[in-house]
Structure 1
Amino acid sequence: MADMRKIRSVFAVMAAVSLLAGCGEKKTSDNNNTTEAAAVTAVTTEAATEDTTSASSDTDYVELSRKLLDDILNDDFKPVMELFSENCKEQLTEGVLMEGWKNIKEEGGNFIAVKESKTETEQGMTVVTTVMDFEKNDFDFMLAYNDKGEIEGIMFTYHQEEEIAPQVTATFAETCIKVGEKELDGMLTMPKNAEKPPVVILIQGSGQHNMNEGSGELATFNELAHGLAERGIATIRYNKRFYQYSELAADGNYTIQEEVLEDAGEAVKLAKSYVDEGKVSGIFVMGHSLGGCVAPSIAKANSDVQGIISLAGTPRDLVDVVIDQLTAQRDAAEIGSQKDSLQEMLDDAAVMKEGNDKDATLLGWGYNYYNSLKELNIGETAKSLDIPMLFLQGDSDVQVYPDKDFPLWKEYLEGKDNCTFKLYEGLGHLFDDEDGHLNKQVMDDTAEFVKNSVK
């Protein structure tokens, strides 16, 4: 289902910050390289220009979208821009498109082919999604057309497979599960070499992710679940609520409770039922990026959690992290129009930081979302916990900073003997090596921590 919240969100540059995302989904390939950020473009239009070349009522939108994509592949953006409304043209310049497309090609590697297309109707718009096959990462190219044939939105996102099948190997067996009243699709991965193993609940980063936090065998949580199972640890992973039900997030003004915490609580209840059945032993929560930020809050709200692991999380206010990321992108931008667009986002961030405008939005999220995160008081929450906590960080992370965010955990938790901190040389936000596989030492350290922390 098309994510209309993104299409109708405030304008975002193609080289958008990942917002503590567990994005950077990795394609199954021996040539895969680390991917640090998702690339998204979203625009909204309110009115069409009278001289815009509009599609007719009998237009084949799949054929049109593929033609426009062919033009973009040839670095020709004029045909797609001719279908933009005047308002859309004011927001999205050719320079920004060119710079964004440059980032897409850098993230994807060598282009291979245009694959399948699908058409859906969402809120009165026709949304065409075309899969683009690249060497390192596949992307979905989305165009949203109104009933006049005008382009209402354009977006590139990492491609994610809709269905994930359970696997059975010599070392682990997977079972499909449902989490909570929303019946979120999930997976229980049980090791075959351990009796009553501890179970780790995996929490994704920001953005709407499936249970694997990506697609293919190299997806972060897919590799993590299988790697931990090989080390005698069970895992529970599940779709984020607004990935499975994108219509529930139409206005972007939900809270972190609705996006993550409520469903995490349901996952803990499910894990507790496995404990009561004698299937597993202790319960742990492991969050990546934003998931690593809120892991302390999940533990505080659910007393059955015996320990937490934070992968590239931060106790800092999310708005401050966004400002740092946007500032870095603005300063690095080579095209004036892109600098201007990033500065506009920084202006939005300044308004959000002041916290006085409840109608404020920043990169598609509203006041309620940022405020709900701020109210978690993450650092103090972590400080209040007496359970074992493990904080992992890559020293080459360009999204959560090893010289700013990682030391802040240590400041909050100074003097507490229940905390362990590990910094990995050469690893980025996804903790994967040059071959695209999740670093084995990270999985070894996680498994050792969990086993040593089971009560």
Structure 2
Amino acid sequence: MRRRTFLTLTGGSLAAIAGCVGDDTDDTPEETSTGPDTSTSTGTHETTSTGGRAEQPEDAVSAGELLVEDMQAGRFEAAVERFRSDARSTISAGRLEEIWLGYTAVGGSFQGVTDTEETVQSGYDAVDLSLEFDRGTHILRVLVDDQDAPAIVGVFVNDEYSRPEYVDSSAFRAEEATIETDDCLMDGEVTIPAEGDSVPGIVLVHGNDPNGAADMDLTAVGSKAFKDLAEGLASRGVAVFRYDRRSHACPNSLAPEEWTLDNITVDDPLVAIEQLRAVPAVDGDRVAVAGHSLGGMAAPRIAERDGDLAGIAMLAAPARDFYEIFIEQFEHLATVGEHEWDAMAEQYERWDERIDRIKEGDYSDSDIVLGYPGALWSSVDAYDQVATAKAIDTPTFVLQGDRDYQVSPAADFERWQAELADRPDASFELYGGLNHLFQYGEGPSTQTEYALANPVDRAVVEDIASWASRL
């Protein structure tokens, strides 16, 4: 089915994943089956060869459909050739393979294109292709220059978020909240169980988003991991305070030399903790924090400084030096498929050579090193999260997905288990099939899958709710 709607888009929930002439490759990592899916396409075109050339598209829609056919069949070099000549320098076969691996990781086996819809974006024909997989339908947007022969200039994830079925919207109410400091006002929301009083409460703490865009929902196109957690926990009797991260709400509030672990990940949660304790329905003695990634790494520091937290949940928390996991992420992305992702491989090699500068402390706080201020590197280096966690007597829950390529199930999660083994109030849970955002998928994890509509796994929500209820 084809639908054609003419609409000039000036914004919207799109995540660029390849192409788009003029875009530079990010210098920072994205908190982004054993090979491409080779099942037979059920789309409307069958790729043929005439004189060595792939079938040529008749219009923007067929350009998108033929691109999908090439990708699902593993013909990633051929797929690159469907891009306009000046757009090919921004992509590679490896990048397109990483995109397809993301879709199949979340969706499973590809079944076909079930619908298309045309709009206009940035002067190009924009085709939204509904891709049906075993585990659901996901949207791929393809931008096409249709002036002469149709040629692709970019592709995007364009999924829409939907609430997980484990959320019961009648079981809680949402109230607007803010965190106000001397230099920043951060919007937030408290989700409060509709029934009961003296309920436990949790403050959600962001990880490090290199692009600075971390809203209260942790939105990534069709994914809203913090919204899933907040509403899923509130449906199970736990109040949750979440808020826009400082880097999202007030990106210019801190100079590079002020971009420290405390300033971006510890100070603001301490304000949120006090505000959650003051909510009438919440038992102020049963307030905890749940930190994700860098937020999980900082959770022991938050507990140490607060002094009265009922517990800390550490979701995908690094136990090693920050630079170690940082460079491993790039190595994974550069090698995840059968085809090399050229730009990522070059970036990995370039940054791997420079990592000694981080190890040796060869920078000032105002320097930008590997995409981050030196102040962050020095403050994280000075912080020993494992020693801090061992020194506090706060009940601790460590959670990890076994498909996480950003924080290692072996090197990080197992170290937490070993170091906190003698703590009777420490518990650990490793989840099969879950990625860094605790979303289910199959095969190697990729950064593209984070943007697809895919909720935080129900088991994670239920386990945190059960843990919080015992505090």
TM-score (norm 1): 0.67
Query: Matches of residues 136-215 of structure 1 in structure 2 within 5 Å?
Result: 169-181=169-181, 182-207=184-209, 208-214=213-219
1:436 is aligned, of 454, 457, 467, to 454
- Structure with the higher strand share, 1 or 2: 2
**In the alignment, which residue of structure 1 is the partner of 2:276?**
271
Q: How far does the alpha carbon of each residue in 1:419-449 deviate from its partner, in whole angstroms, 9 at most, with x for none? A: 1111122222222235933222222221111
Cα 1:356–1:413 change in 2 (3 A) is same
Q: List gaps (5 residues or longer) in structure 2.
A: 1-10, 13-23, 33-66, 68-78, 105-112, 132-136, 144-152, 442-452
* Partner amino acid, structure 2, of 1:262: D
Contact 1:160 1:210 in 2 (8 A): no
Q: How far does the alpha carbon of each residue in 1:24-51 deviate from its partner, in whole angstroms, 9 at most, with x for none? A: xxxxxxxxxxxxxxxxxxxxxxxxxxxx
**In the alignment, which residue of structure 2 is the partner of 1:373?**
380
Shift of 1:362: 4.0
**In the alignment, which residue of structure 1 is the partner of 2:333?**
329
**In the alignment, which residue of structure 1 is the partner of 2:433?**
426
Shift of 1:244: 1.8
**In the alignment, which residue of structure 2 is the partner of 1:50?**
none
Pick the structure with greater CA Rg.
2
Cα 1:217–1:107 change in 2 (3 A) is closer
Identical aligned residues as a percent: 23
**In the alignment, which residue of structure 2 is the partner of 1:66?**
none
Cα 1:233–1:342 change in 2 (3 A) is same
Cα 1:426–1:349 change in 2 (3 A) is same
- Secondary structure at 1:198's aligned position in 2? strand
d(CA) in 1 for partners of 2:469 and 2:299? 18
d(CA) in 2 for partners of 1:231 and 1:185? 24
2:248 is aligned, of 243, 248, 251, to 243
Shift of 1:80: 5.0
d(CA) in 2 for partners of 1:247 and 1:401? 32
TM-score (norm 2): 0.65
Q: List gaps (5 residues or longer) in structure 1.
A: 3-10, 24-70, 82-92, 120-129, 143-153
Shift of 1:349: 2.2
Cα 1:273–1:139 change in 2 (3 A) is farther
Shift of 1:180: 2.3
d(CA) in 1 for partners of 2:251 and 2:97? 28
d(CA) in 2 for partners of 1:101 and 1:351? 32
**In the alignment, which residue of structure 1 is the partner of 2:407?**
400
**In the alignment, which residue of structure 2 is the partner of 1:298?**
302
Shift of 1:357: 2.5
Query: Matches of residues 48-87 of structure 1 in structure 2 within 5 Å?
Result: 75-76=82-83, 78-80=85-87
**In the alignment, which residue of structure 1 is the partner of 2:358?**
352
* Count of matched residue pairs: 361
Contact 1:396 1:425 in 2 (8 A): yes
**In the alignment, which residue of structure 2 is the partner of 1:28?**
none
Contact 1:174 1:189 in 2 (8 A): yes
> Are 1:100 and 2:104 counterparts?
no
* Partner amino acid, structure 2, of 1:100: R
Q: How far does the alpha carbon of each residue in 1:337-366 deviate from its partner, in whole angstroms, 9 at most, with x for none? A: 433332002122232122122265444212
Contact 1:197 1:234 in 2 (8 A): yes
Cα 1:104–1:245 change in 2 (3 A) is farther
Shift of 1:173: 0.6
Contact 1:255 1:369 in 2 (8 A): yes
